[in-house]
Amino acid sequence: MPEEREGLKRFAFAIGGGALGALLVKTLYDDTKKSRAEKDDAEGVEWLCTLIGDLLEEWTPRSYSTEEEYTEALYRYLNRLLPDQLDEGEEIVVELRPTTAYGVPDILINDQLALELKFDPDKSGRDRGIGQCANYSREWATWMVIIGSRDRLIEDLERLLAARGLERIKVVSFT
């Protein structure tokens, strides 16, 4: 496989010059970072992520004292509102802490989007979340939902994900 990519890279540079070749290489590189779900059904994952993103924008969680309570509240919220967002015959499956080959995401939606929730995480909590999300991101589009952290810490987390090549993991914050 690496030989095929190298040959394709040389071909792209020879045919299209540097700019087009670089664009093709970037596209191929970006595709290698996609999850299995995104590769199998890019449009479906994009639709689901847009739908869940819109619902999360409207979510105003009450004050809880534990990560588990926030996770369960988000799970209930999604299950309550999702049916109203769907056409007749459509179904979305929302699972709470399913055991999978890639770990136990807090919420898994349609076997396409994993949500890992962290409540006011310290450095070790953020690092653990990054590791969990890195595992999940091989299989599903993955979002880290952070509740109760300062904006600066969220920006640091996004920079750290990008530095580790995990920029496809979206960070959603509730401060």
Task: Tell me the β-bridge partners of 51.
Answer: none
Mean pLDDT of the chain: 87
pLDDT of residue 152: 86
Asked if residue 93 and residue 20 are part of one domain, the reply reads no
| Same structural domain, 70 and 152 | yes
> Is 4 in the same domain as 53?
no
Q: Are residues 94 and 136 in the same domain?
A: yes
Q: Look at residue 23 in the predicted model and tell me its pLDDT.
A: 43
What pLDDT is attached to residue 38?
97
- Contacts of 32-39 with CB under 8 Å at 24 or more apart are 33/165, 33/168, 34/168, 35/137, 35/138, 35/139, 35/140, 35/141, 35/142, 35/168, 36/138, 36/139, 36/140, 37/111, 37/112, 37/113, 37/139, 37/140, 37/141, 38/141
Q: Are residues 43 and 13 in the same domain?
A: no
Q: Quote the pLDDT of residue 97.
A: 98
The CATH number of residue 50's host domain is 3.40.1350
Total domains in the chain come to 2
- pLDDT at position 10 is 55
**Domain co-membership, 15 together with 71:** no
* 8 and 39 part of one domain: no
- Residues 58, 78 within the same domain: yes
Q: What's the rounded mean pLDDT across residues 100-114?
A: 97
Confidence at residue 28, expressed as pLDDT on a 0 to 100 scale: 41
* 52 and 130 assigned to the same domain: yes
Letter for the amino acid at 14? A
Domain residue limits at 71: 35-174
- Tell me, yes or no, whether 91 and 69 share the same domain: yes
**Joined tokens for residue 60:** 């105003």
- pLDDT tens for each residue of 10-23: 555 555 555 544 44
Same domain membership, residue 160 and residue 78: yes
SS3 135: helix
For 156, half-sphere exposure in the C-beta direction (CA atoms, 13 angstrom radius) is 10
Same domain, 127 and 160: yes
- pTM recorded for the entire structure: 0.82
